[in-house]
Structure 1
Amino acid sequence: MDSQENVMVINAYAAFEPGGQFEHFSYDPGEIGPHEVEIEVRSCGVCHSDLSMWQNEWGIAEYPFVGGHEIAGVVASVGNLVENVKAGDKVGLGWQKGYCNTCNQCLGGDHNLCTEQQGTIIGHFGGFAERVRAQDTSVIKIPESFDLNLVGPLLCGGITVFNPLIQYEIKPTSRVAVIGIGGLGHLALQFARAWGCEVTALTSKSKMDEARHLGAHHCLDSRNPEEIAGAQGHFDLVISTVNVAMDWNALVATLKPKGRLHFVGIVEKPLEVAALPMIMQQNSISGSPVGSPATLNTMMEFAARHDIRPVTESFKFEEINQAFEHLESGKARYRIVLVR
């Protein structure tokens, strides 16, 4: 074990029922495992997925619930077989805290698709705490140029919209549209612009100026059918970050031949899409979750090189209940971060 000892009690904030107030909570993490890393949490994003888990919208939350999966901090201690990080390193941890490391997905580098993956806040205590533990594979180093108070949202929201650029080999010459300029969309605009793409924001008129500031070359009113129809056959990739139903057939019609409509926002209603136009244009509909540790590392390097940063609002950890009220109100612009 590293010379710095791991703590035997971790102090955190937990909700004891769906939607309940976060209160002080302590737990014993036990002895650190040989491949575990203990992170001293300096900041932690509050993602909409934390809200969904807190309210048990997906029916998988366990209580007491300690959320927080956009974690930035420094390594406090490591297990005796950990080699990728050491005490004092600036590190991050996202939605997944561990993998089996032996399945075909893991061996092929697609750890984020591992069927035995461990969610940081699913059946485990997350980063709304002084410290958190995770498997070494899931812990990534943070470039020195990054302010730890800004890193968190990249580890979930950022990787969610960056991953499709890698997975589908998007070219700098591609035309990319982003639906929804919120917690995910405002990062998607920045990544796609820095990637070299021609970027279009599909958003409300009230957000168009900000969308251009974030990287959009063009803006279309997502509520205006005529403007959407005017983009027929234009895009190589349309990334949907929203959780509401839209006219998906009209959006498929904006794709070039072999173009792709890709979902990273969770739309609860089944998609209604006509097959024939997709067949004739060889279009695709797809979705993806976060990204592998390797892709996370690539994203962090790319974000550091191109100065990509989330737009955040900060609350102190002890203001966690106010932070959740602000997120639930829908007024967050665009990501909330708890800081010390």
Structure 2
Amino acid sequence: MKVNAFAAMSAGAKVEPYQYELGGLGPDEVDIEVEYCGICHSDLSMIDNEWGLSEYPLVGGHEVIGKISQVGSHVSHLKVGQTVGLGWHSGYCGHCGSCNGGDHNLCATAQGTIVSHHGGFADKVRAQASSVVVLPDGIDATTAGPLFCGGITVFNPLVQFNVEPTDKVAVIGIGGLGHLALQFLNAWGCEVTAFTSSESKAQEAKEMGAHYIINSRDPQELEQAAGRFDYIISTVNVKLDWNAYINTLKPKGRLHFVGATLEPLDIGAFGLIAGQRSISGSPVGSPATIAKMLDFAAQHNIKPQAEFFKFSDINAAIEHVRAGKARYRVILEK
């Protein structure tokens, strides 16, 4: 089967039309006819080979929504014609300790959708059936793509670290991840604070679920928030004064990273020890947690704020994301 895709041929290059053969469908695999695909900052990182994982030609796209067009002979839970989503992972080993424990997202040999595998910047994408999640009723397929990466990235910690509805939680960075975190936390029942350096985003942050706004460029506002938060989620990929944020945590509070800052964390041990505070991080979630997130999003009408581009305008869409102009996710549509 021939697939029409858009691929980067070298690091940092614009994508261009590219065709490849899928080969025979495995017994545990499915093919998805792509209808929508989000553009995530991770796609740019892979196109640019920021993480040293990229292989070219590189077909990005790991926020895929489409219809099942073909199922393998061993697949019984998915049917041709179902609308499904595919995120960062397109397959798992299925037998390691993490997979056996339900933490498929922590599988050491999980297959990345755009790592040594062609993703959703194409008319079709192939994946292991276990990595594909059916969209429940109440989820808008047009905007669902970013939930499969950005959405699950900020929802997963709520489940993994038992965030309570009575907790006071702050979000650093109100962008593609942060604007979803605000919505999830508000619906979860938390008191939600947005750390942002952009005055223009303050009102939007409140509309998306923040009860309070703190100007992250104002040292006095940071000092006044000392000992206030049970939990802080950092969605940014830049270096900040992490010790100042740790100071805003309550005793036993947690600073949790979902944004992949490439610079080492400059953190003093005393601020952690004195307050018995913690630092942690997490990736995307397992298929089971993705399904739970989708149900929660449907119940609470949570959806990404998105801008749409045609697949034929993919380079303009990528540059829009690269320039930091997206408010707040960009989605490709047929």
Q: TM-score range by the shorter chain?
A: over 0.9
Deviation at 1:280, TM superposition (A): 2.0
Aligned position for 1:146 = 139
Aligned position for 2:60 = 67
CA contact (8 A) 2:43 2:61 kept: yes
Question: Among 299, 321, 328, which residue is 1:334 paired with?
Answer: 328
Please give the alpha-carbon distance, in whole angstroms, between the structure 1 residues aligned to 2:30 and 2:87. 14
Deviation at 1:277, TM superposition (A): 2.5
Verify: 1:310 aligned to 2:287, yes or no: no
Q: Which amino acid letter does the alignment assign opposite residue 208 of structure 1? A: A
Please give the alpha-carbon distance, in whole angstroms, between the structure 1 residues aligned to 2:77 and 2:218. 50
Tell me the matched-pair count: 333
Deviation at 1:329, TM superposition (A): 1.1
Superposition pairs for residues 48-59 of structure 1, below 5 Å? Answer: 48-59=41-52
Deviation at 1:145, TM superposition (A): 2.3
Q: Which amino acid letter does the alignment assign opposite residue 182 of structure 1? A: G
Runs of 4+ that moved beyond 3 A: none
Deviation at 1:281, TM superposition (A): 1.4
Aligned position for 1:10 = 3
User: What is the root-mean-square deviation in Å for CA atoms of aligned residues?
Assistant: 0.9
Please give the alpha-carbon distance, in whole angstroms, between the structure 2 residues aligned to 1:226 and 1:64. 49
CA contact (8 A) 2:153 2:283 kept: yes
Normalised TM-score (structure 1) = 0.96
Question: Among 186, 202, 222, which residue is 2:195 paired with?
Answer: 202
Aligned position for 1:159 = 152
Superposition pairs for residues 115-134 of structure 1, below 5 Å? Answer: 115-134=108-127
Question: Among 225, 235, 241, which residue is 1:241 paired with?
Answer: 235
- Report the more deviating stretch, 314-323 or 265-274: 265-274
Gaps of 5+ in 2: none
Aligned position for 2:17 = 24
- Report the more deviating stretch, 210-219 or 198-207: 198-207
Deviation at 1:247, TM superposition (A): 1.3
Aligned position for 1:4 = none
Question: Among 102, 108, 111, which residue is 2:95 paired with?
Answer: 102
Deviation at 1:15, TM superposition (A): 1.6
Deviation at 1:267, TM superposition (A): 1.4
Instruction: Render the CA deviation track for 1:291-315: whole Å, top value 9, x for unaligned.
Output: 1111100000000110000011100
Instruction: Render the CA deviation track for 1:186-236: whole Å, top value 9, x for unaligned.
Output: 000000000000000000222110100100000000111110111111111
Aligned position for 1:3 = none
Q: Name the SS for the 1:10 alignment partner.
A: strand
Q: Name the SS for the 2:26 alignment partner.
A: coil
Please give the alpha-carbon distance, in whole angstroms, between the structure 1 residues aligned to 2:40 and 2:229. 29
Verify: 1:290 aligned to 2:290, yes or no: no
Q: Name the SS for the 1:208 alignment partner.
A: helix
Q: Which amino acid letter does the alignment assign opposite residue 78 of structure 1? A: V
CA contact (8 A) 1:15 1:63 kept: yes
Verify: 1:229 aligned to 2:223, yes or no: yes
Please give the alpha-carbon distance, in whole angstroms, between the structure 2 residues aligned to 1:268 and 1:22. 24
Question: Among 210, 220, 224, which residue is 1:216 paired with?
Answer: 210
Please give the alpha-carbon distance, in whole angstroms, between the structure 2 residues aligned to 1:164 and 1:144. 24
CA contact (8 A) 1:90 1:144 kept: no
Normalised TM-score (structure 2) = 0.98
Q: Which amino acid letter does the alignment assign opposite residue 98 of structure 1? A: G
Aligned position for 2:129 = 136
Please give the alpha-carbon distance, in whole angstroms, between the structure 1 residues aligned to 2:284 and 2:320. 24
- Report the more deviating stretch, 247-256 or 66-75: 247-256
Please give the alpha-carbon distance, in whole angstroms, between the structure 2 residues aligned to 1:278 and 1:121. 37
Deviation at 1:243, TM superposition (A): 1.1
Please give the alpha-carbon distance, in whole angstroms, between the structure 2 residues aligned to 1:131 and 1:123. 16
Verify: 1:254 aligned to 2:252, yes or no: no
- Report the more deviating stretch, 103-112 or 204-213: 204-213
- Report the more deviating stretch, 262-271 or 187-196: 262-271
Please give the alpha-carbon distance, in whole angstroms, between the structure 2 residues aligned to 1:57 and 1:153. 21
Q: Name the SS for the 1:337 alignment partner.
A: strand
